[in-house]
């Protein structure tokens, strides 16, 4: 469904020192440097896949999504989406994709979302019967109710985001490019959006390419992740395999029967590395192969009320991956 080969996007950016003299000199002679926003990445995504597209700020994620949707032309490389070359912006291509950006808005500010829905029906030439059926389903799945009749300016951020998703999916696209769709939303609304994206993917077999800085979005939706840093691809594969590769250790979260059940942090160090310790609870990090032994020793030595074994947080896994990647680049 998505095929990318040797994709590059470079910009010529004018740089000058601060000050009036430098500003005047730049009128007659400008110095430029090349910024490699995307620097030779290759990957493919199959039909119906849900893939996380991850990287730190400035890694090139949004630039890549804009090239995949045809908003930007690549400097080099080849890419196809649903069998089309995005930069040609053919009508048949545009009817099969959608790009939802959490920081951009397509809803008409002073009018109800229903007016934007009607406008999109005309733009995409959606048959009335299909439009009514799809809108009814989207309203039900997103729990929009009467929101579609309220002026957009009166809606909360979460309510607007749900209406944005409905507007973007009225034409039943086969490929969803989602750029930070849950940014700024509360925990409950994030869960609603995630459930909707999963339901849409399963209902229509749509391909989803998701960027998000909320790792819970990725954990809940994306079995596979593509990770880029400074425009270069550094990982493409299974999310769980990434965690095992980068951080093979485990964390044991133990809750004690009383506030002083674990004693001082130094008393817990005999079981492993103490990540955190507070009255009634502690988190201890151990090697994966030592989990069963550490758990047995804790149960025998401590007054344990509850105990769970968890993987390290995905945020820490990603930080470690970026650090290791940059060290390899620095070493040449």
Is residue 161 classed as helix, strand or coil in its secondary structure? Answer: helix
Q: Are strands 250-256 and 207-211 parallel, antiparallel or unpaired?
A: unpaired
Q: Rounded to the nearest 5 degrees, what angle is found at the Cα of 276, between the Cα atoms of 271 and 282?
A: 60
Instruction: Please say if the pLDDT value at position 261 is more than 70.
Output: no
CB within 8 Å of 295: residues ≥ 6 apart: 252, 307, 309
Write the DSSP string, 225-262: EEEEETTEEEEEEEHHHHHHHH---EEEEEEESSTTTT
Q: What CATH code would you report for 42-244?
A: 3.40.50.300
Total length of the chain: 332
Q: Which residues of 79-111 are buried (b: 16+ CB within 10 A; e: fewer)?
A: bbbbebebeeeeeebbbbbbbbbbeeeebeeee
In percent, the amount of the chain with pLDDT more than 90 equals 49
CB within 8 Å of 321: residues ≥ 6 apart: 227, 234, 235, 242, 246
| Whole-angstrom distance, CA of residue 253 vs CA of residue 271 | 12
Alpha helices in 149-238 (DSSP H): 157-169, 187-204, 215-221
Q: Is-contact 157 145, C-beta < 8 A?
A: no
Q: How confident is the model at residue 262 (pLDDT cuts 50, 70, 90)?
A: low
Q: pLDDT, tens digit, for every residue of 202-247?
A: 988 999 999 988 888 999 999 999 999 999 999 999 988 888 888 8
Which CATH entry fits the domain spanning 248-310: 3.30.70, 1.20.1050, 1.10.3470, 3.90.220? 3.30.70
Lowest mean pLDDT among 14-18, 40-44, 119-123, 178-182: 14-18
| Whole-angstrom distance, CA of residue 43 vs CA of residue 235 | 10
Lowest mean pLDDT among 92-101, 102-111, 217-226: 102-111
| Whole-angstrom distance, CA of residue 118 vs CA of residue 126 | 10
Higher model confidence: residue 22 or residue 117? 117
The count of C-alpha atoms lying within 13 angstroms of the C-alpha of 221, restricted to the half-sphere facing its C-beta, is: 33
Instruction: Please say if the pLDDT value at position 67 is more than 90.
Output: yes
> What predicted TM-score, i.e. pTM, was given to this entire model?
0.84
Domains of the chain by residue range: 42-244, 248-310
What does the pLDDT read at residue 115?
94
| Whole-angstrom distance, CA of residue 38 vs CA of residue 41 | 7
């Amino acid at each position: 469904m998505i095929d990318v080969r040797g994709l590059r996007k470079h910009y010529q950016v004018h740089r000058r020192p601060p000050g009036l003299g430098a500003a005047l000199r730049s009128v007659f002679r400008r110095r430029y440097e090349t910024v490699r926003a995307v620097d030779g990445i290759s990957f493919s995504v199959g039909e119906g896949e849900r893939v996380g597209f991850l990287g730190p700020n400035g890694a090139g994620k949004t630039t890549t999504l804009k090239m995949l949707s045809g908003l930007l032309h690549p400097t080099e490389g080849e890419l196809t989406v649903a069998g089309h070359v995005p930069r040609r912006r053919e009508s048949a291509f545009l009817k099969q994709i959608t790009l939802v950006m959490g920081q951009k808005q397509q809803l008409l500010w002073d009018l109800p979302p229903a007016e934007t829905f009607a406008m999109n029906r005309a733009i995409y030439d959606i048959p009335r019967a299909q439009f009514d059926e799809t809108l009814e389903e989207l309203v039900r799945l997103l729990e929009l109710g009467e929101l579609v009749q309220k002026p957009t300016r009166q809606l909360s951020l979460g309510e607007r985001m749900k209406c944005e998703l409905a507007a973007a999916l009225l034409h039943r696209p086969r490929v969803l490019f989602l750029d930070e769709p849950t940014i700024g939303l509360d925990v409950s609304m994030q869960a609603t959006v995630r459930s909707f994206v999963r339901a849409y993917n399963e209902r229509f077999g749509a391909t989803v390419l998701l960027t998000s800085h909320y790792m819970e979005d990725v954990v809940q939706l994306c079995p596979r992740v593509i990770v880029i840093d400074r425009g270069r691809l550094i990982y493409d594969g299974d999310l769980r395999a990434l965690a095992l590769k980068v951080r093979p250790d485990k964390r044991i979260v133990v809750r004690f029967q009383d506030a002083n059940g674990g004693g001082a942090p130094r008393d817990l160090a005999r079981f492993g590395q103490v990540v955190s310790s507070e009255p009634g609870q502690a988190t201890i990090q151990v090697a994966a192969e030592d989990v069963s032994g550490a758990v047995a020793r804790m149960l025998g030595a401590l007054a344990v009320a509850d105990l769970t074994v968890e993987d390290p947080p995905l945020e820490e896994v990603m930080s470690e991956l970026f650090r290791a990647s940059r060290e390899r680049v620095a070493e040449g």
